[in-house]
Amino acid sequence: PYPVYAWLRDVEPVHYSAANDLWLVSRYDDVLAVLRDAPGFSSDLGKAGLDDNPFNPAIRIPRRLARLLDRLPPVRTLLTSDPPHHTQLRRKVAKAFTPRRIAALEPRIREITERLVDDLDDDLVRDVASPLPTIVIAELMGIPADRRDDFKRWSDELVNGLLTGGSRIRMARSALAVSWFFARTVRSRRHRPGGDVISLLVTRDQDGDALTLAELVNFCILLLVAGNETTTNLVSNAMLALFDRPDLWRRLGTDPDLAPAVVEETLRYDGPAQGLLRVTTAEVRIGDVTVPEGARVLPLTGSANRDPRHWADPDAFRLDRPAGDHIAFGSGIHYCIGTALARLETRIVLETLARRHPHLGPAGVPERIQSPVLRGLRTLPVTIRPTV
Ligand code: HEM
């Protein structure tokens, strides 16, 4: 997508795409302005009538299914709500993802990663990048190991239906199955709390605030959907960048301290989330363009992170950039709450692979995920022996 972004930024930085009724915003400053203006750009996508798939207008929800979905109460998650509801929800769930809680997971994530790398055969996505985040989030939520395959399937079908133009019927079926599963899990944790994230969320705050059953279920689903595929893709994108830079790969094997910078630069250079979705709450100006009320806006974070108006040498992969400047995790009130976990998992995978498989290399053409907003791989064929 990067040449297209360059064209957009130079020629039409706020571009209306009639095919999917979306306004594409591509310059760094404009993307940041959209993300920081929550009152002007709502995340409550229900308002935009998302009964079609904006990323694949050819796919429509069948009428019978649409009628069924209409009867369900509106699903408002953290990701798709505005203040004041968003503020309350975020306060309640943020405690589950503090940097301290996440840092404490390091030994266990290392253990899981070592085991997956033991079994690495010939596809890095299938064998390591894809299972790791699912296992970690399932353990965090106290989900029994024998349900992990269901867990992974629900997560994939929800993400595919939402963001890659996959089957919406399968998506709806998975949404029902996963809601049912989490509703039962939440009820059982209320009776018998443990040390997991769901138990933490069902217990009341000191100020007596509690999440409702629907809020809890929605948040569990969001955790499943928001963190799995994105983290898998961050690992894949980092490995692609490293395969192109064998010197850096060798250095990483002996100097694991390089890993955090590789993770950060991958987030900027080839981030898993290329675009986010907002709806204007009133007529608004972005750059020189007037966008009407109720318009769907796609701030392209992937483009912002390569904008030469902001970055020196944006198409180069460099480890010496200022920290915290990219917007791969968004910005403003919806800033990703899983950053510490995603960074930790990816860092551990890169360190472990570079140490244990210094000759790891590509073996064939990787298969890309087909989506305008998700950037990553379905398969990454590899060989762990040196090729002669
Ligand atoms: C929000 C990216 C991993 C949970 C976001 C947003 C981005 C993002 C761009 C902002 C969405 C918006 O403004 O509309 C990523 C990337 C990841 C990652 C690139 C991996 C590399 C995770 C993980 C979790 C997670 C591991 C949880 C376990 C969330 C949640 C939100 C969010 C709950 C919603 C926050 C809110 O609306 O207040 N993420 N994420 N993410 N992310 Fe992540």
Residue 65 half-sphere exposure, CB side, CA atoms within 13 Å?
Answer: 14
pLDDT per residue as tens digits for the range 97-152: 889 889 999 999 999 999 999 999 999 999 999 999 999 999 999 988 888 888 88
The number of the ligand 1 atom at minimal distance from the alpha carbon of 341 is 26
Reported ipTM: the value is 0.99
Pairing label, strands 367-368, 377-379: antiparallel
Which residue has a Cα nearest atom 39 of ligand 1? Answer: 336
> Is 224's pLDDT higher than 90?
no
In a domain, residue 361? The reply is yes
What CATH number corresponds to the domain at position 152? 1.10.630.10
Q: How far, in Å, from the CA of 24 to the mean position of ligand 1?
A: 20
In a domain, residue 43? The reply is no
In a domain, residue 6? The reply is no
Question: Which one of 92, 336, 339, 350 would you pick to mutate in the ligand 1 pocket, going by the greatest count of ligand atoms within 8 A of its CB?
Answer: 336
Q: How far, in Å, from the CA of 227 to the mean position of ligand 1?
A: 7
Phi-psi region of 14 (alpha: psi -120 to 50; beta: other; left: phi over 0): beta
| pTM (2 d.p.) | 0.92
**Residue 58: pLDDT band with limits 50, 70, 90:** very low
pLDDT per residue as tens digits for the range 164-218: 666 777 777 888 888 889 999 999 999 998 888 898 888 776 666 678 888 888 8
Query: What does the DSSP 8-state code read for residue 97?
Result: G
In a domain, residue 255? The reply is yes
Supply the pLDDT for residue 200: 85
Does residue 226's CB lie within 6 angstroms of at least one atom of ligand 1?
yes
In a domain, residue 238? The reply is yes
- Which range marks the domain in which residue 109 is found? 60-275+317-383
pLDDT per residue as tens digits for the range 287-299: 999 999 999 999 9
Supply the pLDDT for residue 163: 67
CA angle 132, 133, 138 (to 5 degrees): 105
In a domain, residue 307? The reply is no
> For the stretch 9-28, what's the b/e string if a residue is b when 16 or more beta carbons lie within 10 angstroms of its beta carbon?
beeebbbeeeebebbbbbbb
Does residue 43's CB lie within 6 angstroms of at least one atom of ligand 1?
yes
**Residue 226: pLDDT band with limits 50, 70, 90:** confident
| Residue 39, phi then psi, degrees to nearest 5 | -65, -35
Cα 172 to the chain's mean position, in Å? 20
**Residue 57: pLDDT band with limits 50, 70, 90:** very low
Number of domains in the chain: 1
Q: Which helix (H) or strand (E) holds 284?
A: strand 284-286
The number of the ligand 1 atom at minimal distance from the alpha carbon of 89 is 38
Tell me whether residue 50 is exposed, middle or buried, using C-beta atoms within 10 angstroms of its C-beta: 0 to 12, 13 to 18, 19 or more.
middle
Does residue 137's CB lie within 6 angstroms of at least one atom of ligand 1?
yes
Supply the pLDDT for residue 386: 63
In a domain, residue 24? The reply is no
Does residue 238's CB lie within 6 angstroms of at least one atom of ligand 1?
no
Supply the pLDDT for residue 96: 84
From the list 276, 300, 295, the residue with the least C-alpha distance to 21 is: 295
